[in-house]
Amino acid sequence: MVKQIKISNFTEVKNIMNAATHCVDEIGVHDGKGSIADAKSILGLMSLDYTHPVMLVSENEKELQRVYEAIS
């Protein structure tokens, strides 16, 4: 499952990480340059390019939706 989202501030990045830490399955965040970060890693998330929308990726639809809703 994949969801595209535009991140506009650091609070939204922290919300992704906080929601992802409660997930059993892995949640990945992919930026437009091809970089991938574990959504549970604040350092990984800080290394991504947020000037364009990023993709949230997971095999678990419910957990992906929970992380997506933490931002919106």
Domain of 41: which CATH number? 3.30.1340.10
Number of domains, the chain: 1
Query: At 71, is the pLDDT very low, low, confident or very high (cuts 50, 70, 90)?
Result: confident
Quote the pLDDT of residue 14: 96
Whole-number Å distance between alpha carbons of 19 and 63:
9
Whole-number Å distance between alpha carbons of 4 and 40:
18
Model confidence pLDDT, tens digit, residues 5-55: 999 999 999 999 999 999 999 999 999 999 999 999 999 999 999 999 999
Domain that holds residue 32: 2-71
